[in-house]
Structure 1
Amino acid sequence: MLLVVAGAGAAGSVTFAAQAEPADPLAVYAARIVGDRARTRIVLEFDRKPEIAVRYIARPDRIVVDLPSTVFTFPEADLEARGLFRDIRYGSMDADSARLVLTADRPARLVASEVMANESGTGYRLVLDAEMVSQQDFEKLVNDQSWMTASVDATATAQRGDRVGQSEPAAPGAFVIAIDAGHGGIDAGATGAATKTQEKEITLAFAKALFDRLKGEPGIEAFLVREGDEFLSLSERVTIARQRGANLLISFHADTLRQSNIRGATVYTISDKASDRMAADLAERENLSDAVGGVSDTGEPAEVSDILLDLTRRETQAFSISMADSVVRSFEGQVALINNPHRYAGFRVLQAHDVPSILLELGFLSNKEDEKLLLDPAWRVKIADLLAAAIRRYRLPVVANGG
């Protein structure tokens, strides 16, 4: 199997297809936050009464508030992190649920979470009062509700639908490609420097372009890991690809850098040790996707360590490097590449021991030239054509060797 993860960055204009909305989501039309490093209050104004569930997750310490399907229409500045919280994220998880994730600057708990009718009687107000606690008390909160956390995570996964169980088996001998659009739902990813376009929109547009391109390739069956604006954890993405019998997973990303003058594509493979500081920083940011979505850090998968597993892992890494080289060869002279375009780092989405994997960063949203290209439909088609050529070059020797 092969897992390819791709990232992107550029500038321009494009209209993205609208995502299907739930039948009648709640709306949060106003928000405010007040307080200090000891106590902080968050108030959200809903058009209708919400049902909420609260849980706690450690490393980093977070308070997670699960909601029904909800749209957030208030200005982002109205809920900027302050007081007890160093980061606040909110957004959809799937068509039926949404989430508010409060990342604490110091351990904190909710001393009150109350839903009440507002003064005008036209809506409902959610008031969340948080206060600082000791690390020991926070860890006790996490441990005491660990059974509930697992249940909530399982429920959220079930709400997204078991696409794996419902999928049609691939044709005998087909080369199966899972196309994964990075980020999604509450995890919006990076934001374009010029257009403020969210990374999750760009990655889905590239994923769909490649899916359309591969439809005409004989012997290849492709599918989208993320079909709409939904949140998938990193482990879910890998599991979906493996359970569908994927020989290749291509996932797109469009990161940002502090240096806006840096542009171009990069291909990453997995390694315990990063090739350079930039690769390490990128992997650290991408690995935070689960934290942004309010998912528990389950760590590395438990695997039996034996000589057969080690041989499988080494073979997988060799396949990953081969695919990375094929992509670089396709892009040379056609797509801007950064210096040393094949790099490596510890990306969690690439960690399956039996799934050859690459992560392709197509460019940087912090660079206006890259951003313009990423928003150009013609550029997406070109990238899809070049990736199809890279897949053909990689696939021939793999299939010949029985991979």
Structure 2
Amino acid sequence: MPMLLTFPGFVAATEKAEDPLLAFGARIVGDDARSRVVIDFDGKPDFSVHYVESPERVVIDLSATAFGFPPADLAARGLFKDIRYGTMGEGSARIVLTAIRPVHLVMAEVQKNEEKGYRLVLDAEMTTREKFAELVKTQKWGEVQEGTNAALNTISPEDQGHDGVFVVAVDAGHGGIDAGASGSSTKTPEKEITLAFAKELAEKLNRQPGVKAMLTRTNDSFLSLSERVVLARQSKADLFISLHADTLGQKGIRGATVYTLSDTASDRMAAALAARENLSDQLAGYSIEVPQPEVADILLDLTRRETQAFSIALANRVVKSFEGQIGLINNPHRYAGFQVLRAPDIPSILLELGFLSNEEDEKLLLSDEWRDRLTTLLTEAIMRYRNSALAGGGEP
């Protein structure tokens, strides 16, 4: 639970400040990879952001503020295990966010509310200990900002200049405690199959000029669905490809399928598959939260429609590359609400390599020769997508 406090050594701002701002509302959404904190004020606040180590904390210094919202509204969750706030010396207040892991703010800005006052919006993402230590080392204290990212000492991936390298995030589905499906004959876990395919695909992509592949996981470790997306965004990925090999109750169904994101599923099978894949987090003790409408753009911002057009173009190229070479399911491009495809600014597909519930597919999924063939065709499809995008500058 957050604590309303007066920091030791200081008198409350309300004792001396003539007209402190009123923080009349607060909310927080997110998970272990990214979280958003929103605080409503009756006037426009000045603020600054700082980072403190041991433990990792984000400190928000504010102009004089009286906190008038219920403490439960800012209960710790997501990336933060403790949240405290209160007045400091004359004319100032502070919010301290204690993190469960190293974090950085990719956005901190004041926005005008439509109905009343302003809101301070803080978007936090996981980062490495090395990058957090660098933030602590390079920051400057005592500089109050008036509403944008100037206090962050960091910028978001979408603000960074592109270095000309085409980055592909290759995501091996499942891992760790989440084994995924298992083969009907050999009982081979899906997590082993997807990792083998991911490593081979990444290796082939890294041989291509101007292309760099990054693996979201390189071993048998668990990653939440949100962590996979954040890792891709932090790598400034141009594409995100998640590899899977599921099972179906109908053992006769076989072949590869390419999925893109949609709030409405293309069919019952796609809806059921997305529901199963989205349960991955719950298996490891995480829960998928539905953000309030006001903060929903932490997952899907205004670039989603354009990104979706590129995702569909990529899916079509993969299907075309596989036709006549790799067995495809009927209607091989389908869509559903896969959480792992929700990067708002990265064209993303989920590729079902085949179905472990089908004996013929299972044999192929375990075949070195077939894996080499499929990853070669997939690499060719990705390169055609890249070359078309670079040549035309529009939808590939």
TM-score strictly above 0.5 = yes
Does structure 2 retain, via aligned residues, the 8 Å contact 1:164–1:243? no
Runs ≥4 residues deviating over 6 A: 142-145
Rounded Cα–Cα distance in structure 1 between residues aligned with 2:324 and 2:187: 29
Q: Which residue of 1 aligns with 2:370?
A: 379
Query: Could you give the per-residue CA deviations for residues 339-360 of structure 1, whole angstroms, max 9, x where no partner exists?
Result: 1000010101111222211111
TM superposition shift of 1:300: 4.6
CA displacement at 1:245 relative to structure 2 = 0.3
Which of 240, 248, 257 is 2:239 aligned to? 248
SS in 2 for 1:178: strand
Secondary structure in structure 2 of the residue aligned to 1:398: helix
- The code of the aligned residue for 1:267 comes to V
Q: Give yes or no for the alignment of 1:274 onto 2:265.
A: yes
Q: Deviations over 1:62-121 (max 9, x none)?
A: xxxxxxxxxxxxxxxxxxxxxxxxxxxxxxxxxxxxxxxxxxxxxxxxxxxxxxxxxxxx
Judged with a 3 Å threshold, the aligned counterparts in structure 2 of structure 1 residues 266 and 221 are, in CA distance, closer, same or farther, namely same
Asked whether the equivalents of residues 164 and 244 of structure 1 are also in contact (C-alpha less than 8 Å), the reply is no
For 1:368, give the aligned amino acid. E
1:194 aligned to 2:185? yes
Q: Which amino acid aligns with 2:262?
A: S
Query: Structure 1 residue 151 and structure 2 residue 81: aligned?
Result: yes
**Preserved CA contact (<8 Å) 2:257 2:353:** yes
Change (3 A) 1:165 1:198: farther
Q: Any idea what the Cα deviations from partners look like across 1:115-164, whole Å, max 9, x if unmatched? A: xxxxxxxxxxxxxxxxxxxxxxxxxxx99995699539964789x98399
Q: Distance in 1 between matches of 2:363 and 2:178?
A: 22
Structure 1 residue 400, shift from structure 2 partner:
2.6
The answer to whether 1:222 aligns with 2:188 is no
C-alpha distance in 2, partners of 1:402/1:279?
32
- List aligned pairs for 1:3-14, cutoff 5 A: none
Q: Does 1:326 align with 2:317?
A: yes
Structure-2 change in CA distance of 1:170 and 1:259 (3 Å): farther
* Matching residue of 1:317: 308
Structure 1 portions without partners, runs of 5+: 1-141
Instruction: Report the CA distance between 1:217 and its aligned residue.
Output: 0.3
**Over alpha carbons, which structure has the higher Rg?**
2
Between the aligned partners of 1:378 and 1:197, the Cα distance in structure 2 is 18
1:233 and 2:199 matched: no
Corresponding residue number in structure 1 for 2:198: 207
Matched, 1:162 2:128: yes
Aligned equivalents of 2:343, 2:240: Cα separation in 1: 12
Structure 2, gaps ≥5 residues long? 1-71, 83-97, 104-125, 133-159
- Compute the displacement of 1:378 (Å): 1.3
Deviation of 1:174 after TM superposition, in Å, equals 0.5
SS at match of 1:151: strand
Q: Structure 1 residue aligned with 2:248, among 253, 257, 263?
A: 257
Does residue 346 in structure 1 map to residue 320 in structure 2?
A: no
Q: Displacement of 1:216 after TM fit?
A: 1.2
Change (3 A) 1:163 1:157: closer
Q: Quick one: distance in 2 between partners of 1:149 and 1:221?
A: 29
Quote the Cα distance in structure 2 between the aligned partners of 1:309 and 1:174: 25
Task: Quickly say closer, same or farther: Cα 1:378–1:304, change in 2 above 3 A.
Answer: closer
**Structure ranking higher on relative contact order (CA contacts 8 Å, 6+ apart):** 1
CA 1:188–1:317 in 2, change beyond 3 Å: closer, same or farther? Answer: same
Mark the CA change 1:257 to 1:246 in structure 2 (over 3 Å): closer, same or farther: same
* Preserved CA contact (<8 Å) 1:251 1:359: yes
The equivalent residue for 1:71 is none
Aligned pairs for 1:1-400 (under 5 A) are 150-151=80-81, 155=100, 162=128, 165=131, 172-300=163-291, 302-304=295-297, 309-310=301-302, 312-400=303-391
Equivalent residue of 2:81, what SS? Answer: helix
Partner residue in 2 for 1:16: none
Distance 1:174 1:196, change over 3 A: same
Residue-by-residue CA offset, 1:219-266 (whole Å, 9 max, x unaligned): 101111101111111111011101110001222101000011110000
Provide closer, same or farther for how the CA distance between residues 162 and 303 of structure 1 changes in structure 2, counting only shifts above 3 A.
same
Aligned length: 256
After superposition, the C-alpha distances for 1:188-233 in whole angstroms (9 at most, x for unaligned) are 1001100000010000000001011112100101111101111111
Q: What percent of counterpart residues are identical? A: 59
Compared with structure 1, are the counterparts of its residues 373 and 351 closer, same or farther at alpha carbon in structure 2 (3 Å cutoff)?
same
CA contact (8 A) 1:170 1:221 kept: no
For normalisation by structure 2, the TM-score amounts to 0.59
CA RMSD of aligned residues (A): 3.2
| 1:270–1:147 CA distance, 2 compared to 1 (3 A) | closer
The one-letter amino acid paired with 2:128 is D
**Displacement of 1:296 after TM fit?**
3.1
